[in-house]
Amino acid sequence: MEHYTTVVQKVGSFLLLLGSLFLVRFISKRNGLTKDNSYTPFLFLLFLILFPSVLINTNIIIANFFILLSLRRLISLQSLITPKEKIFDASLWIFVATLFHFWSILFLILVFVSIIFHVSRDYRNWIIPFIALFTVLIIFVFAVIVWDKNLLLLVMEKAYISFDFTYFENVYQNIALALFSSIAVLFFATQLLALSNRPLNMQSSYKKILFSFLLGVGIYVLSSSKNNSFLAFTFFPLAVMGTNFIENIDNKWTREGVLYSLVAISFFIFFAQVL
């Protein structure tokens, strides 16, 4: 029975990762964050390869999937079509993600940032996230009462803060983090510098991408029992920023050289970590 449970869990994780890739592609294309290409899901996949610990952390895979669902609604808020529904949906997905990794709750900050950007004048929009919280709490309490009273403990034990970064099991995990950090600084800095050159109607969307990356870093920094898999929350915004960086490289050979270098390095470090 345990064997079948493990198989179902692995298949479920794979399907969620596949769904995450489709969401990454959909969000970036639908909201005009990138040009019509596959760089964003490709970079997202490379980041997954760079940190194989993500692939075995089911809770992070689930939580990040729900955060992507939330970002899909928040970024599309710029259209001002059904804003209340989008705020509720985004808040709901964030609170659901919190059940799997507590510090996902930091993304609630992005909900209020989005309200400030687009619909701050209607006071009812500020109340909607709390309605979503109440909804998730009711469902969660019901689940605790009916199925497992230890569910609350499982959630709360992840609410601790830790600044212990001495978790590396081998030197290649350290190298992977150092490489990822360097790439992240490059992509973030170029996106930040290019922000003023973006069309005015798109600037709020790119600001949300920058905010979401910083919140992802915040989750990694605050999480207890720290490991590289917690960086998964930064993968989507960084993939968008990376795509913008690559798209701005005019020389085709330079652009392809950057991509092939990222592929080679990612696979080398992946196999070095797992072997």
pLDDT at res. 273: 79
Residue 161, φ and ψ in degrees, nearest 5: -105, 135
pLDDT at res. 4: 66
Residues of the chain with pLDDT under 50: none
**3-state secondary structure at position 223:** strand
What is the number of helices (H) and of strands (E) in the chain?
11, 0
**3-state secondary structure at position 151:** helix
Whole-number Å distance between alpha carbons of 167 and 103 = 19
pLDDT at res. 2: 56
pLDDT at res. 1: 57
Q: Which two tokens stand for residue 145?
A: 């009462």
What pTM value is reported for the model?
0.94
Domain ranges of the chain: 2-80+161-274
Q: In whole numbers, what is the pLDDT of the chain averaged over residues? A: 89
